Amino acid sequence: MKQKKWIIFLLGLAVIGAIAFFVWRYNASPQVASENSNSSYEANKTSSSTSENQSNTDTHEDKPQNKEENQNSATPQPTEENQNQETPQDQAPAPTIREQQLATFTTKIYTKDSSRQNNMEITSQKLNGTIVKNGATFSFCQTIGPSTTQKGYQKADIFDNEGKKKKGLGGGNCQISTTLYNAVLAAPSLTVTERHEHSNYVPYIQEGKDAAVAYGSYDLKFKNNSGHDVRIDSQCSNSAVTINLISLVPES
């Protein structure tokens, strides 16, 4: 009888132990799974972080490349037209010009008429600095143009075709053309091709040395055969008219 009780008692302990074992296994399994889940989560997190870092690293590495591309796109590329253009350093320097006086002539002003003086000053200023190219023919009337009130000319004494004195726009211009004519006569390399005398005596030059001008009818012309360009310098004061002829000689 006692032996039977011991057997029952041991069986009960075995059952209790089995139950306890299964309870322990049941409780231990979720923890292992949870730890595995946490490990997987940490692994994924680490992987994600590593991926983000690599992505950021790639992005940062790309930025200098983009900057270089921007610099290349912002830098103007030389065109064929720009390459063919000459720079100031490439251009040949302008030759040095030596000025040489060919001739000079002066006539005295005897008439103290303000209108005549006004006309001569206008014409002298227009003539001053005129350059006659080598081989070219100079025309006084084409250079000065017609005498009009719009240019500031006034009426002063002139001679008509019969030698009679009357008032006309541009009176006094003939003293400028006469002074130029006599300067040209003093330069052998300049050849007079057209010249007209006045119909009456003029006091500022000896007879036969005057040069009458009238736009559209009488002109003074000469050709430049000097081999160089010639500049006309004209000055008019209250007492005299002076013409200087300057040869412009390029220095080699």
Contact residues for 50 (Cβ-Cβ < 8 A; gap 6+): none
Q: Distance (Å, rounded) from C-alpha 4 to C-alpha 11?
A: 11
pTM score, whole prediction: 0.65
- Please indicate, yes or no, if residue 135 is contained in any of the structural domains: yes
Asked if residues 218 and 229 have their Cβ atoms less than 8 Å apart, the reply is: no
- Please indicate, yes or no, if residue 63 is contained in any of the structural domains: no
- Please indicate, yes or no, if residue 134 is contained in any of the structural domains: yes
pLDDT attached to residue 172 = 97
Q: Same domain, yes or no, for 233 and 122?
A: yes
pLDDT attached to residue 19 = 77
Q: Distance (Å, rounded) from C-alpha 230 to C-alpha 252?
A: 18
Q: Same domain, yes or no, for 127 and 20?
A: no
- Please indicate, yes or no, if residue 114 is contained in any of the structural domains: yes
Q: Same domain, yes or no, for 224 and 145?
A: yes
Q: Name residue 222's beta-bridge partners.
A: 138, 192
For the chain, the straight-line distance linking the first and the last C-alpha, in angstroms and rounded, comes to 152
Q: Same domain, yes or no, for 13 and 111?
A: no
Q: Same domain, yes or no, for 15 and 111?
A: no
Phi first, then psi: give them for residue 231, nearest 5 degrees. -105, 140
pLDDT attached to residue 37 = 44
pLDDT attached to residue 1 = 59
- Please indicate, yes or no, if residue 223 is contained in any of the structural domains: yes
Place of tokens 């399994």: 29
- Please indicate, yes or no, if residue 77 is contained in any of the structural domains: no
pLDDT tens across 185-215, in order? 999 999 999 999 999 999 999 999 999 999 9
CA dihedral angle for residue 56, residue 60, residue 61, residue 67, rounded to 10 degrees: 150
- Please indicate, yes or no, if residue 166 is contained in any of the structural domains: yes
pLDDT attached to residue 85 = 57
Two structure tokens written together for 241: 């008219």
- Please indicate, yes or no, if residue 78 is contained in any of the structural domains: no
pLDDT attached to residue 75 = 54
- Residue 196 carries which side chain, given as an amino acid letter? H
User: Structurally, how many domains does the chain consist of?
Assistant: 2
Q: Distance (Å, rounded) from C-alpha 145 to C-alpha 130?
A: 13
The parts of the chain modelled with pLDDT lower than 70 are: 1-6, 22-92
Q: Same domain, yes or no, for 104 and 210?
A: yes
Q: Same domain, yes or no, for 107 and 51?
A: no
Q: Same domain, yes or no, for 111 and 168?
A: yes
Strands 155-159 and 165-169: antiparallel
Domain hosting residue 20, numbered range: 1-56
